[in-house]
Structure 1
């Protein structure tokens, strides 16, 4: 009887470990470009992502999907979310052509974002053109996603919107030669040396930002992602946008997922009391 009890206990522990490990495995974005694309008419396009693999079913049935339209009429203005708590440090980084986007991976794990006492380590940047999120239905020219994760697999993303203009983005300017070097083939990866994420210049204590709970915008469309979207739109040159798009060989002129239903989710705009 004691032996049977031990066997049951071991099986229970193994089962628990499997369930605990699943979110960690499935929460990450898919790296293989050939498995999906952004062509809405394609069999592997965004309207069919949820049918391609069972583990991607949230892309079809999820109720907290991203991106969304940040409609001002629907947004709740608050001041209690506080300033963005970021501790970013320079780190060695690598640039990779993932076929569906360009990813800048941070290697040291020394930069983090803090939300409600939880530290999310900065893992990677990637870009979407045009923007995935919209403001009052208006789609911008580019969107940067700064992806952070905890050791347990929780994810938080800071999103920044860009409008094409005369001024190039200073951070992207540092990557120009590296982007050209990896533009020839999907999967190409290149060391870019030490980069400083602070050069993105997210803002000060008076920065306005939207906060809502959403999902990854690529398969497997994992939910319960803490989204922070900066309200201020930054500038990027048309040449920089073209370079990002030319480097991505997916035979489609965009890598932005269509808007998803909000489904009565709470969308907040944090406006500090001292903001004018």
Structure 2
């Protein structure tokens, strides 16, 4: 499967902000060197040549999940995902589009997708969800952005329902910085935010903010987790409506991981 490969420097410049943001980044997404885009006019993102994929791309994210293909483990279409997340420290940044949690040690937490290892770079949130399921938004979606040694990106997405209080989520929303400010999050394991034993919807997509680069491996968890109404309101006070509209799926296939 062909992938879009980025140098570490290029990726750092692109991801500083979001479907993706690097330590210097929907991510996936939110890019500090592109201050002239906003969520009020996503249809204009592709007007600039540097962001042309936002309008001309054929594998853009997010998408609506209507159905997914179950495949046999022996099939060449099967996508195997394993996760190895450890407690670690993060720098917390408010970049004007979302809150970005940049990891201090990029090799401490990893995922493996079909034999390729991706190190965790950062995570950030969108309200409401960027992906929809059967045309329905969830109140919150968190993106966990990873990068391989070859420069390829993989993003794990987690959807949140309004429900019971979420203790791990409370750890990350306490004392969030204002725009332009930084904070810290210490000894936090992102695995605590993941649904237990959930399949994932896997498909080829893009960053969800300019420049909307494609060949991103998406892994959207099929099972949502809960967050209380109070917790969702805390996040929405900072950013609400920072979600890109769903994009045409084209002929892309969505594979349900085991």
Question: Under TM normalisation by the shorter chain, which class is it?
Answer: 0.7 to 0.9
Question: Could you list the runs of 4 or more consecutive aligned residues of structure 1 that deviate by over 3 angstroms after TM superposition?
Answer: 19-27
- Does 2:71 correspond to 1:78? yes
**Matching residue within 206, 224, 242 for 1:255:** 242
Which residue number in structure 1 is paired with residue 150 of structure 2?
A: 152
Aligned residue runs from structure 1 range 1-276, under 5 A: 21=7, 24=11, 28=15, 29=29, 30-31=31-32, 34-39=35-40, 45-51=41-47, 53-72=48-67, 75-80=68-73, 81=78, 84-109=81-106, 110-165=108-163, 167-179=164-176, 182-183=177-178, 186-204=179-197, 207-248=198-239, 253-270=240-257, 272=258
RMSD, aligned α-carbons: 2.1
The structure-2 alpha-carbon separation of the partners of 1:104 and 1:219, relative to structure 1 and needing over 3 Å to count, comes to: same
Instruction: Say which one has the larger Rg.
Output: 1
| 5+ residue gaps, structure 1 | 1-18, 40-44
SS in 1 for 2:123: strand
Residue in structure 2 matched with residue 13 of structure 1 by the alignment: none
Q: Distance in 2 between matches of 1:200 and 1:176?
A: 12
Deviation of the 1:141 alpha carbon: 0.6
Q: In structure 2, what is the Cα distance between the partners aligned to 1:122 and 1:242?
A: 27
Give 1:24 shift.
4.0
Q: Deviation per CA, 1:59-116: give whole Å up to 9, x if none.
A: 01000000000002xx212242365311111111111111111111111111111011
How far has the Cα of 1:168 moved from its partner?
2.1
- Can you give the 5+ residue segments of structure 2 that lack an aligned partner in the other structure? 16-28
**Structure 1, residues 218-275: CA drift from partner, whole Å, max 9, x if none?**
1110100000011111111122222112224xxxx411101100111111123x4xxx
CA deviation after TM superposition for structure 1 residue 20, in Å: 6.9
Change (3 A) 1:143 1:112: same
Partner residue in 2 for 1:5? none
> How far apart are residue 25 of structure 1 and its match?
6.1
When normalised by structure 1's length, the TM-score is 0.79
Structure with greater proportional helix content: 1
* Partner-residue secondary structure (3-state), 1:174: helix
Q: Structure 2: how far apart are the matches of 1:82 and 1:37? A: 34
Question: How many residues in Structure 1 have an aligned counterpart in Structure 2?
Answer: 234
Instruction: Give the whole-Å Cα distance in 1 for the aligned partners of 2:235 and 2:190.
Output: 18
